[in-house]
Amino acid sequence: MAKALMLLFYFARCVVEDKNSKVAWLNRSGIIFAGHDKWSLDPRVELEKRHSLEYSLRIQKVDVYDEGSYTCSVQTQHEPKTSQVYLIVQGKTK
């Protein structure tokens, strides 16, 4: 008997170099977070901060519709930096 695997959450980590950096999380739909301000209406999406320099994105109950590119954009005093991850979800829609 085959077992179904459900991803309970997805975690993408973004760490900045100093507290003066401005951080935003984006996906194909637009801005998810700008700093601590949540722009997404999706209640499954959270900003997780384990320390003052971390701005990690957490998505609860991942669905195939969550698949795609997620970008952490950091504006430092010197230059902008970006980090990108691509979430691949395998499975069926509900």
pLDDT in tens, 76-86: 888 888 999 89
Distances (CA, A) of 77 to 20, 26, 30, 55, 81: 8, 20, 24, 18, 11
Domain ranges of the chain: 9-87
Sign of CA dihedral 88, 62, 81, 15: negative
More confident position, 9 or 30: 30
The DSSP bridge partners found for residue 84 are 71
Tokens matching residue 41: 């209406």
Residue 1 pLDDT > 60, yes or no? no
The arrangement of secondary structure in 9-87, i.e. its CATH architecture, is Sandwich (2.60)
